[in-house]
């Protein structure tokens, strides 16, 4: 299947009550494991190239990799720019074949965030692709503190920015390795009450799995970004593969043993908030 846009995979999720995984990519091995996991589960997947991924691999190369992987499976695959900070970066991703642009203006005043996000959304829609924005600020574990999304500001942002999906800050934190606390469901419900748009949770690794699944099937949250827990699975699998034979040096052989555990982890992630197949049956 060729690449899909973010709107093409999130609108059915919004309508039918489930969520799609935005899986954070760092290299070929995890990307390939993610699309294989999606194919095995029969579910769409969003491949996300964040700032650290882009620092390692140029956007045109990433676009070609995502395109190749999308053509290798029968399920929808979205090529998503995660946390683009400038118009130039977003335009470069569009030119590289990405089908979804996430512009992060969350550190900026509301009016500026809306104006800049709206310009990105207009550019994306003019090219037939999608745009995600962020209102409120999702902080970082042991780093910048979050600023919770104000429901009234969220309503204005959703109305005026033109985005296809809106990331919110409701207790979620980037790079969190434990699952303590969970999301502020009262704030999330207040945002839902004044908007009609698919919502996105960044920092999904820090959200308890049961809460992720419950919200995927009972709220407007249609996309969970999952990175840290899959990177941890990669690290564990890599250490195991390297330690199995201290004399082994061939990276292809080593990494071939890393992909199956990542694929298994990704399958579990995607399955947990995918469609309720029993109900559908």
Residues identified as active-site: 82
Specify the pairing of strand 100-103 against strand 77-84. Answer: parallel
């Amino acid at each position: 299947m060729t690449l899909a846009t973010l709107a093409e995979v999130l609108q059915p999720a919004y309508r039918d009550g489930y969520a799609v995984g935005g899986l954070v990519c760092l290299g070929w091995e995890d990307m390939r494991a993610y699309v294989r996991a999606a194919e095995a589960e029969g579910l769409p997947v969003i491949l996300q190239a964040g700032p650290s991924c882009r620092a390692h691999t140029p956007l045109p190369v990433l676009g070609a990799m995502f395109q190749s992987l999308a053509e290798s499976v029968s399920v929808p695959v979205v090529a998503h720019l995660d946390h683009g900070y400038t118009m130039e970066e977003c335009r470069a991703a569009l030119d590289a074949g990405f089908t979804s642009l996430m512009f992060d203006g969350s550190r900026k005043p509301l009016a500026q965030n809306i104006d800049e996000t709206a310009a990105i959304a207009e550019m994306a829609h003019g090219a037939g692709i999608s745009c995600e924005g962020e209102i409120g600020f999702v902080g970082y574990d042991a780093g910048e503190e979050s600023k919770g999304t104000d429901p009234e500001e969220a309503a204005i942002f959703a109305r005026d920015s033109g985005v296809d999906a809106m990331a919110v800050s409701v207790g979620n934190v980037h790079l969190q390795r434990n699952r303590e606390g969970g999301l502020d469901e009262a704030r999330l419900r207040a945002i839902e009450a004044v908007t009609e748009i698919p919502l996105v949770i960044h920092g999904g690794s820090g959200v308890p799995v049961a809460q992720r699944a419950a919200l995927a099937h009972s709220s407007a949250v249609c996309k969970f970004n999952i990175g840290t827990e899959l990177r941890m699975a990669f690290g564990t699998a890599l250490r195991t593969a390297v330690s199995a034979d201290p004399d082994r040096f061939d990276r292809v052989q080593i990494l071939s043993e890393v992909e199956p555990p990542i694929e298994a982890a990704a399958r579990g992630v995607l399955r947990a908030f995918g469609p309720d197949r029993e109900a559908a049956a």
